[in-house]
Amino acid sequence: MESPFKPEITVFHCINAFPDVEGLPLGQGENFSIKAFKLPCTGMVKDVYLLRAFEAGADAVLVFACLQGQCRYVEGNLRAAKRVKFVQKLLDEIELDGRRLALFNIAAGDAAAAAEILHKALPELVKLGPNPAV
Amino acid sequence: MNTESPGRLQKVLEGGFFAVTAECGPPRGADPVPIRKKGDLLKGFVDAVNVTDNQTAIVRMSSVGACQHLLQLGLEPVMQMVTRDRNRIALQSDILGAYSLGIKNILCLSGDHQRFGSQPDAMNVFDIDSINLVRTVWNMRETGRDMSGFDLQTPPRMFIGAAANPFADPFEYRVIRLAKKIDAGADFIQTQCVYNLERFAKWMDQARDEGLTDKVHILAGVTPLKSEGMARYMAGRVAGMDIPDFVIRRMAGVPKKNAAREGIAICLETIAALREMEGVRGVHIMAIEWEEKVAEIVAAAGLLPRPSVD
Amino acid sequence: MIVGEQKSIAEIREIIAPYRKLLILGCGTCVKTCFAGGEDEVAVLASALRLALKKEGKEIAVEEFTVERQCEDAFIQEAAAHISPGTAVLSLACGAGVQAIARRFAKTPVLPGVNTTFIGVLDKQGLFTEECLGCGDCKLAIFGGICPVTRCAKKLLNGPCGGSQKGKCEVSPDLDCAWQQIIERLKILGQLGNLRVYVPPKNWKSSHAGGPRKLVREDHII
CA–CA separation, B184 vs B160, rounded Å?
10
By DSSP bridging, strand C114-124 and strand C2-6 are antiparallel
Assess contact for C92 and C25: CB atoms under 8 A.
yes
Task: Determine which of B91, B126, B176, B194 to mutate to test the interface with C (most C C-beta atoms within 10 Å).
Answer: B126
pLDDT band at C59 (very low <50, low <70, confident <90, very high): confident
Q: Is there an interface between C and B (3+ Cβ pairs < 8 A)?
A: yes
pLDDT by position in tens, chain B (length 310): 444 789 999 999 999 999 999 999 999 999 999 999 999 999 999 999 999 999 999 999 999 999 999 999 999 999 999 999 999 999 999 999 999 999 999 999 999 999 989 999 999 999 999 999 999 999 999 999 999 999 999 999 999 999 999 988 677 788 888 999 999 999 999 999 999 999 999 999 999 999 999 999 999 999 999 999 999 999 987 777 899 999 999 999 999 999 999 999 999 999 999 999 999 999 999 998 899 999 999 999 999 999 999 8
Contact C187 B172 (CB under 8 A): yes
pLDDT averaged over every residue in chain A: 94
Q: In what order do the strands lie in the sheet with A8-14?
A: A33-39, A8-14, A60-66, A101-106
Report helix, strand and coil shares of chain C as percent, to nearest 5.
Answer: 35, 20, 40
CA–CA separation, C164 vs C176, rounded Å?
9
Q: Which residue of B has its CA nearest to C195?
A: B176
Contact C8 A93 (CB under 8 A): yes
Contact C162 B147 (CB under 8 A): no
CA–CA separation, B144 vs B149, rounded Å?
9
pTM: 0.93
How confident is the model over C92-116, as pLDDT tens digits? Answer: 999 999 999 999 999 999 999 999 9
pLDDT averaged over every residue in chain C: 96
Assess contact for B137 and B106: CB atoms under 8 A.
yes
Q: Where are the domains of chain C?
A: 2-118, 133-209
The candidate with the shortest Cα–Cα distance to B23, out of B296, B305, B283, is B283
Asked whether residue B147 is domain-assigned, the answer is yes
Asked whether residue B101 is domain-assigned, the answer is yes
Name every residue whose Cβ is closer than 8 Å to that of residue B102 and which is 6 or more positions away in sequence. B71
Work out how many domains chain B is built from and give that number.
1
* Chain B positions in Cβ-Cβ contact with residue C154 (cut-off 8 Å): 83-84, 110-111, 113, 124, 126, 129
Cis peptide, bond prior to residue C160, ω within 30 of zero: yes
Contact B132 C201 (CB under 8 A): yes
CA–CA separation, A50 vs A53, rounded Å?
5
**E-strand stretches of chain C:** 2-6, 21-27, 61-67, 87-91, 110-112, 114-124, 127-132
Whether the predicted pLDDT of C178 surpasses 90: yes
Does A44 contact C at CB distance below 8 Å?
A: no
Amino acid at B11: K
Q: Which residue of C has its CA nearest to A83?
A: C44
Q: Is there an interface between B and A (3+ Cβ pairs < 8 A)?
A: no
Alpha helices in B102-194 (DSSP H): 130-143, 174-184
* pLDDT of the residue at B170: 74
Does A133 contact C at CB distance below 8 Å?
A: yes
* pLDDT of the residue at B171: 72
Measured from the Cβ of residue B265, the count of other Cβ atoms closer than 10 Å reads 16
Q: Which residue of A has its CA nearest to C8?
A: A93
Least CB-CB distance to C164: which of B115, B132, B168? B168
* pLDDT of the residue at C166: 85
Assess contact for C113 and C8: CB atoms under 8 A.
no
Whether the predicted pLDDT of A2 surpasses 70: no
Alpha helices in C80-169 (DSSP H): 95-104, 148-151
The candidate with the shortest Cα–Cα distance to A80, out of A99, A61, A97, is A61
Assess contact for B194 and B240: CB atoms under 8 A.
no
Does C187 contact B at CB distance below 8 Å?
A: yes
Does C55 contact A at CB distance below 8 Å?
A: yes
Name every residue whose Cβ is closer than 8 Å to that of residue B128 and which is 6 or more positions away in sequence. B83, B87, B88, B91, B136, C201, C202
Give the single-character DSSP code of C176: B
Across the B:C interface, residue pairs with CB atoms under 8 Å apart total 90
CATH assignment at residue B83: 3.20.20.220
Assess contact for B170 and C180: CB atoms under 8 A.
yes
**How near does any CA of chain B get to the CA of C216, in Å?**
28
CA–CA separation, B1 vs B216, rounded Å?
12
* pLDDT of the residue at A126: 95
Number of residues that this document lists for chain B: 310
CA–CA separation, A80 vs B126, rounded Å?
45
Phi–psi pair at B225, nearest 5 degrees: -85, 140
Exposure string for A14-26, b = 16+ CB within 10 A, e = fewer: bebbbeebeebeb
Across the A:C interface, residue pairs with CB atoms under 8 Å apart total 43
**Chains touching chain A, criterion 3+ CB pairs below 8 Å:** C
Q: Which residue of A has its CA nearest to C9?
A: A93
Give the single-character DSSP code of B32: S
Q: Which residue of C has its CA nearest to B176?
A: C196
* pLDDT of the residue at C163: 84
Least CB-CB distance to A95: which of C43, C49, C55? C55
* pLDDT of the residue at C31: 97
Asked whether residue B229 is domain-assigned, the answer is no
Q: Where are the domains of chain A?
A: 8-128
Does C196 contact B at CB distance below 8 Å?
A: yes
Contact C52 A52 (CB under 8 A): no
Q: In what order do the strands lie in the sheet with C127-132?
A: C2-6, C114-124, C127-132
Q: B217 or C59, which is more confident?
A: B217
CATH code for C2-118?
3.40.50.2300
CA–CA separation, C214 vs B230, rounded Å?
54
How confident is the model over A49-83, as pLDDT tens digits? Answer: 999 999 999 999 999 999 999 999 999 999 999 99
- B73: Cα separation from own chain's centroid: 20
* pLDDT of the residue at B1: 40
**How near does any CA of chain C get to the CA of A127, in Å?**
18
Q: What percent of chain C has pLDDT over 70?
A: 100
Radius of gyration of chain B (CA): 19
Amino acid at B298: V
* Chain A positions in Cβ-Cβ contact with residue C39 (cut-off 8 Å): none
Does C173 contact B at CB distance below 8 Å?
A: no
Q: Which residue of C has its CA nearest to B184?
A: C198
Average pLDDT value for residue range C63-72: 97
Least CB-CB distance to B239: which of C156, C170, C183? C170
Contact A55 C55 (CB under 8 A): no
Least CB-CB distance to B128: which of C160, C187, C201? C201
Contact A55 C9 (CB under 8 A): no
Contact A55 C44 (CB under 8 A): no
Domain range for residue B47?
8-223+280-292
Contact C155 B129 (CB under 8 A): yes
Does A38 contact C at CB distance below 8 Å?
A: no
Does C43 contact A at CB distance below 8 Å?
A: yes
* pLDDT of the residue at B2: 44
Does C156 contact B at CB distance below 8 Å?
A: yes
CATH code for A8-128?
3.40.50
